[in-house]
Amino acid sequence: MNPYKKLATLLDSRMSGHAASAVSGLPAELGTMTAGGLKLDRFKHEIADYYVADWMAKLHLPSFALAGTVSGLTSGSVPVAGQGTFAFSESEIEDVRMEFQHGLKPGDRVLAIPIDDGNDAVILCKVVK
């Protein structure tokens, strides 16, 4: 047998095993937001400096109408104000960023993935029942 092929096979096998063991112990888990950071359910210490997933999406809006008040408009040079219904057509908006980090409050439950041997975590989303 070719010794280089045997070495390559052995290295491939070892690297695959190390990669599998590196991610096998990192399941997603629930945590709770605190005043000082994130407390994972299965980790006794609070994580003050955590990461939050950054999600980009395509937003699909159905057609809808809203009632409201309008002011600041002019007809010619005459100011116009009043109440009315505003109708919006169905539309799609590309590259919408969902920034829920600023909406996280103490007591909120989140789904997170611990990283760096549990010293850090990436919050994937807020979870509700």
Residue pLDDT, tens place only, 63-111: 999 999 988 888 888 888 899 899 999 999 998 888 878 789 999 999 9
b (16+ CB within 10 A) / e for 15-52: eeeeeeeeeeeeeeeebebeeeebbbeebeeebeebbb
User: What's the rounded Cα separation, in Å, for the pair 84 and 69?
Assistant: 6
Average pLDDT of the chain to the nearest whole number: 82
Residue 14: enclosing H or E segment and its boundaries? helix 3-24
Return the minimum-mean-pLDDT range out of 18-22, 52-56, 94-98: 18-22
Percent of the chain with pLDDT over 70: 80
7 has pLDDT over 80: no
pLDDT at 18: 47
Domain extent listing, the chain: 27-127
In terms of phi and psi (left: phi > 0; alpha: psi -120 to 50; beta: otherwise), the region of 127 is beta
Nearest to 125 by CA among 106, 86, 107, 99: 99
Nearest to 55 by CA among 16, 18, 98: 98
pLDDT at 11: 57
pLDDT at 97: 86
32 has pLDDT over 90: yes
